[in-house]
Chain A
Amino acid sequence: MNSLILIFILLALTGFSYFYGKQRAIKLSGGVVSTRSFNSLPKQFGLLTALCCGLPALVLLLLWAIFEPVIIKSLVVSTLPQDIQQLNSEQLGLYFNDVYIIAESVISNCSDSDAIKCKAASYYTELSANASVYKAAFIIAAVMFAVSVLVRRFHSTFKARHYAERTIKTIFLICSIVAVLTTLGIVGSVLFESLRFFSAVSPSDFLFGSKWSPQIAMHAEQVASSGAFGAVPLFTGTLLITCIAMLIAAPIGLMTAIYLSQYASDRVRGVAKPMLEILAGVPTVVYGFFAALTVAPIIRSLGESIGLSVASESALAAGLVMGIMIIPFVSSLSDDAINAVPKTLKEGSLAMGATESETIKKVLLPAALPGIMGAMLLAVSRAIGETMIVVMAAGLAANLTANPLQAVTTVTVQIVTLLTGDQEFDSPKTLAAFALGLMLFVSTLVLNIIALKVTRKYREQYE
């Protein structure tokens, strides 16, 4: 709550700075009318003053938030007895965690056995309380100093507008760099943890091993404590479900696009398109629920009625529902590709006496093929990366099978199961999730790049 009050104070200060800067500029010019002789308008002086107050405050707040815990921790640790300071970083971390818990608990019930911890905890509480006071005082003083320095420099030739606009432009640039930083963050985090994983498990075992049982590594005292991290069953499971999904989505999505763009009347299109968009807007967790509780039992009872044994969590159910989810995606992208084909090609073909379906099959589709291929590749990458449907409907058993009636597991399912719940980040079990994430990221990225290249190349042909 304290930091919230500070933020409000800073916001108020920023607002105040605007009027202060504006008034100072007006005063300097000797009244509103003679601002003509100034380089900038009073409100631009105000804007610059407000920026000069708000920006440093924001930066300082962020820096403080990042460095405060580190500094407080090192201060607390430095007061601990020598033998505890000698502990390795991991044990020290555990020790400090206890201190933190004692400090955070409302009722401080310290027994005599951990008097040192209690002392450290009270020191920690004291430091935290002091830190928030220091923070508020320091940041408010800093922004007031910055504003006063700026305002002192105001004179008739001061280029307030120029400076203000350059600052805003820099902020805009930084905002657009956030996307790059996100990518770097993804690559960095996934790669870093994956490297730690590959230092424990060899990459060839991971990529070509056919046994996946990461749970064994949980119990270090067991004989078979190494765990098995062969990811081939996950890859085949992912591919199996993706194939089933594409077998549903590709023909139905493409035919939907063809029918709606070539045959359907405006009225049909006006109803069908938004209806299909509903399919695209339904959250995936809803599809997962539908797959697990409606489709899977139907498939199971159907299979049993003709004497097949179907697992209760079958690849078929997950793939089918995923296919339904992707239909609108495929159809809207294919629609774009078909509509991008020049009308003259179609008219020429019809004029030669070809039927509409012949025109579509022999003229439109070949011309739109790169675009449609791109759409299919994007759909595949989406199916590979889809999580909730498979988590809820595909199962956890890492079977190396091509039988769609059996339970399979996928890369995304394993990432979720490895990383939900409490976990420590030094076992291959949790790090394996990041290695899988790396595989997922790289494979979908490659698919997307190929898809974009294919579509772009094709677009250039007609323009």
Chain B
Amino acid sequence: MNNSSQILTSADTDLEASQHDKSDLANSNLANSNVANSDVTSTIARSLKKRHAKERSFRRFGMCAVAFGFIMVVLLLADISSKAVPAFSQHWLQIDVEYNQQWLGVDNTSANGLGKANYRTALKKSLYQMFPEVKSRSDKRALFALISNNAEFNIKDTLMANPELLNKTHSMWLLADDDVDNYFKRADKIGAAFGRINDKQATWLEQLSAEEQVVSRFNFMFFTNGDSRDPELAGIRGALTGTILTMLVTLLISFPIGVAAAIYLEEFAPKNKITDLIEVNINNLAAVPSIVFGLLGLAVIINLFGLPRSAPLVGGIVLSLMTLPTIIIASRASIKAVPNSIREAAIGLGASKMQVALNHVLPLAMPGILTGSIIGLAQALGETAPLLMIGMVAFIVDIPTSFTDAATVMPVQIYLWADAPEAGFLAKTSAAILVLLAFLLTINLSANALRKKFERNGLNRH
């Protein structure tokens, strides 16, 4: 910085000096008086000062523009990261669960009987035993609300696995409700009511935490669960699986078609109206708003061809039509970059045009084609709007297992969670965004690495 400003000032003095010379020369030629000479010089010096000030402010303006972009990147990432932190830990409560036969409503330990037992009641009564001072109905309800909805399934699984626990008391860690989670995660005012936790609930929670019956653990469920209405249970595995299935369809359709189209247009296409039309079309398609592709998917693929809504198959088809222009344009550029000498050499040895294209040009162009395709797929990965049109916004709990199952993808999951009113979903949304960004970053880095490798030992080797 210092260095460059020095250069600038030295250049300024040079410029000033040359201006002096010029005016001197002009003055001597016109034989003007000394007074006029100094007058012109000072005018020029003054205007020069102004011009340099303008130069500096212009430059500063440019720096501000770059800095603005910089600050925005940092702000965006910092904002989302800071919001995401709470999603990666969860609070658990230690509850003494009494597997009382009467509460459960079972008379024997057969698997069938245990499977249908009333675990909810058993859990409630165990909880009330821990807090004997809780008497009224509303208080009891408030107490039970501290535990997550899936706790009864947890205690069921435990008893099914160890039937000898029947009629015994077993101390277990159970997942806390998201409101409890939020209560413990806030930074200030321990002990007072917060958010949707009332004063009584806060007292009980403080009592539990004083007895060290509250613990915060890493939230593995975020990565292993599907979507849920309960923020403490919601995970991204369903969306991740849907994303992988959708991207697989996109890759399988857009990559071969895109590369084939690029080879045809670069190596074989005659220059006529049809190929002109194709070229113009590809360029236009690259700039069509993504939501219009969603309309196409809805009207043609779902309504006309009757493919199932919300399916990764349909999502993949729509996204591949969208990515196709990107892949074709990138592949064409890469094929064009292959030196003509290679084609001529192969033809000279008697290869057919197809052999030249497939055996000589394509292998050399492949790194570039792959880079372009990866970038195209990364764009498709972040795309949301067309998938809203084809019904991938549905609330889906199950992990999709086939291409025609109802599924959702990461960006749509983010959109759905961002809309959810529960406070717990704010952190989940940010965390899902972080996962998506990490995914994208890895993809882009691999594309970059590929490009670097390609630049280093690509065409020059041959």
A and B from one complex: yes
What A residues does B352 contact at CB under 8 A? 161, 165
Which of A12-20, A197-205, A249-257, A305-313 has 4 or more CB atoms under 8 Å from chain B? A249-257
Q: Taking CB as reference atom, which chain B residue is nearest A173?
A: B264
Q: Check: B268 CB closer than 8 A to any chain A CB.
A: yes
Q: Taking CB as reference atom, which chain A residue is nearest B275?
A: A176
What B residues does A79 contact at CB under 8 A? none
The 8 A CB mask of A253-290 against B (1 = contact, 0 = none) is: 11110111011110010001001101101111111111
A281 touches B440 (CB 8 A): yes
Select which of B291, B296, B388, B440 is within 8 A of A189 by beta carbon. Answer: B296
Which of B136-144, B163-171, B377-385 has 4 or more CB atoms under 8 Å from chain A? B377-385
Q: Check: B321 CB closer than 8 A to any chain A CB.
A: yes
The 8 A CB mask of A327-343 against B (1 = contact, 0 = none) is: 11001000000000000
What A residues does B328 contact at CB under 8 A? 176, 179
Q: Check: A186 CB closer than 8 A to any chain B CB.
A: yes
Q: A65 to chain B: closest CB distance in Å?
A: 8
The 8 A CB mask of B268-287 against A (1 = contact, 0 = none) is: 11000000011001111101
Assess A434 versus B15: contact at CB under 8 Å? Given A275-B73, A283-B384, A420-B388.
no
Q: Check: B13 CB closer than 8 A to any chain A CB.
A: no
What B residues does A165 contact at CB under 8 A? 352-354
What B residues does A353 contact at CB under 8 A? 15, 18-19
Q: Check: A66 CB closer than 8 A to any chain B CB.
A: yes
The 8 A CB mask of A291-323 against B (1 = contact, 0 = none) is: 011100000000000000000000000000000
What B residues does A394 contact at CB under 8 A? none
Q: A273 to chain B: closest CB distance in Å?
A: 10
Q: Which A320-376 residues have a C-beta within 8 angstroms of B?
A: 324, 327-328, 331, 353, 355-358, 360-361
CA distance A285 to B156 in the complex (A): 39
A252 touches B384 (CB 8 A): no
CA distance A386 to B382 in the complex (A): 13
Which of B56-64, B87-95, B122-130 has 4 or more CB atoms under 8 Å from chain A? B56-64
Q: B417 to chain A: closest CB distance in Å?
A: 9
Q: Check: A437 CB closer than 8 A to any chain B CB.
A: yes
Residue from B55, B68, B69, B305 with most neighbouring chain A CB atoms (10 Å):
B69
Assess A385 versus B290: contact at CB under 8 Å? Given A259-B63, A416-B385.
yes
Q: Check: B113 CB closer than 8 A to any chain A CB.
A: no
What B residues does A60 contact at CB under 8 A? none
What A residues does B76 contact at CB under 8 A? 279, 282, 286-287, 290
Q: Which B43-73 residues have a C-beta within 8 angstroms of A?
A: 51-52, 54-55, 58-59, 61-66, 68-70, 72-73
Q: Taking CB as reference atom, which chain A residue is nearest B412?
A: A285
B70 touches A275 (CB 8 A): yes
Assess A180 versus B281: contact at CB under 8 Å? Given A290-B80, A381-B287.
yes
A255 touches B382 (CB 8 A): no
A437 touches B285 (CB 8 A): no
CA distance A265 to B391 in the complex (A): 49
What B residues does A253 contact at CB under 8 A? 65
What B residues does A172 contact at CB under 8 A? 260-261, 263-264, 268
Q: Check: B298 CB closer than 8 A to any chain A CB.
A: yes
Q: B79 to chain A: closest CB distance in Å?
A: 5
B69 touches A283 (CB 8 A): no
The 8 A CB mask of A431-463 against B (1 = contact, 0 = none) is: 001100100110011001100100000000000
What B residues does A179 contact at CB under 8 A? 261, 278, 281-282, 285, 324-325, 328
B288 touches A441 (CB 8 A): yes
Q: A420 to chain B: closest CB distance in Å?
A: 6
Q: Check: A182 CB closer than 8 A to any chain B CB.
A: yes
What B residues does A279 contact at CB under 8 A? 69, 72-73, 76
Assess A419 versus B324: contact at CB under 8 Å? Given A282-B76, A283-B411, A412-B291.
no
A256 touches B65 (CB 8 A): yes
CA distance A173 to B306 in the complex (A): 27
Number of chain A residues close to chain B: CB under 8 A = 93
What A residues does B55 contact at CB under 8 A? 355-358
B260 touches A176 (CB 8 A): yes
Q: Check: B370 CB closer than 8 A to any chain A CB.
A: no
CA distance A183 to B280 in the complex (A): 11
What B residues does A384 contact at CB under 8 A? 289
Q: Check: B337 CB closer than 8 A to any chain A CB.
A: no
Q: A449 to chain B: closest CB distance in Å?
A: 8
Q: Check: A392 CB closer than 8 A to any chain B CB.
A: yes
CA distance A184 to B453 in the complex (A): 39
What A residues does B418 contact at CB under 8 A? 285, 288-289, 292-293, 392
Residue from B15, B52, B269, B382 with most neighbouring chain A CB atoms (10 Å):
B382
A437 touches B291 (CB 8 A): yes
Q: B376 to chain A: closest CB distance in Å?
A: 12
The 8 A CB mask of A141-179 against B (1 = contact, 0 = none) is: 000000000000000000001000100110111011111
Q: Check: B436 CB closer than 8 A to any chain A CB.
A: yes
Q: Check: A234 CB closer than 8 A to any chain B CB.
A: no
CA distance A253 to B324 in the complex (A): 28
B433 touches A263 (CB 8 A): no
Select which of A256, A265, A420, A434 is within 8 A of B62 by beta carbon. Answer: A256
What A residues does B106 contact at CB under 8 A? none
What A residues does B354 contact at CB under 8 A? 165, 168-169
B79 touches A385 (CB 8 A): no
A360 touches B285 (CB 8 A): no
Q: Check: A209 CB closer than 8 A to any chain B CB.
A: no
Q: B9 to chain A: closest CB distance in Å?
A: 13
Q: B283 to chain A: closest CB distance in Å?
A: 7
Assess A437 versus B295: contact at CB under 8 Å? Given A179-B282, A292-B418.
yes
B79 touches A180 (CB 8 A): no
CA distance A183 to B419 in the complex (A): 33
A434 touches B382 (CB 8 A): no
Q: Which A60-89 residues have a C-beta within 8 angstroms of B?
A: 66, 69
What B residues does A284 contact at CB under 8 A? 382, 384-385
Q: Taking CB as reference atom, which chain B residue is nearest A184?
A: B281
The 8 A CB mask of B415-429 against A (1 = contact, 0 = none) is: 100110000001001
Q: B354 to chain A: closest CB distance in Å?
A: 4
CA distance A199 to B289 in the complex (A): 26
What A residues does B80 contact at CB under 8 A? 286, 289-290
What A residues does B383 contact at CB under 8 A? 283
Q: Check: B437 CB closer than 8 A to any chain A CB.
A: yes
CA distance A168 to B303 in the complex (A): 32
A444 touches B278 (CB 8 A): no
Q: B301 to chain A: closest CB distance in Å?
A: 9
Assess A419 versus B73: contact at CB under 8 Å? Given A165-B354, A258-B62.
no
A175 touches B66 (CB 8 A): no
B411 touches A285 (CB 8 A): yes
CA distance A433 to B256 in the complex (A): 33
B52 touches A355 (CB 8 A): yes
B68 touches A252 (CB 8 A): yes
A264 touches B295 (CB 8 A): no
Q: A110 to chain B: closest CB distance in Å?
A: 24
A294 touches B79 (CB 8 A): yes
A355 touches B54 (CB 8 A): yes
Select which of A185, A358, A433 is within 8 A of B300 by beta carbon. Answer: A185
Q: Check: B40 CB closer than 8 A to any chain A CB.
A: no
Q: Which B288-340 residues have a C-beta within 8 angstroms of A?
A: 288-296, 298-300, 303-306, 321, 324-325, 328
What B residues does A355 contact at CB under 8 A? 51-52, 54-55
Q: Which A216-263 residues have a C-beta within 8 angstroms of B?
A: 251-256, 258-260, 262-263
23 contacts between A and B (CB under 8 A): A178-B257, A179-B285, A183-B285, A254-B65, A259-B63, A259-B65, A265-B4, A281-B440, A282-B437, A283-B382, A284-B384, A285-B382, A286-B436, A289-B80, A290-B80, A293-B426, A353-B19, A357-B59, A382-B287, A387-B289, A388-B411, A415-B295, A448-B284
Q: Which 3 A-B pairs have the closest CB atoms?
A: A385-B289, A283-B382, A259-B62
Question: With A253-B65, A412-B385 given, can you name 13 additional A-B contacts, CB distance below 8 Å?
Answer: A175-B260, A176-B328, A179-B278, A180-B277, A190-B292, A263-B59, A276-B69, A284-B382, A288-B415, A324-B72, A382-B287, A441-B288, A444-B288
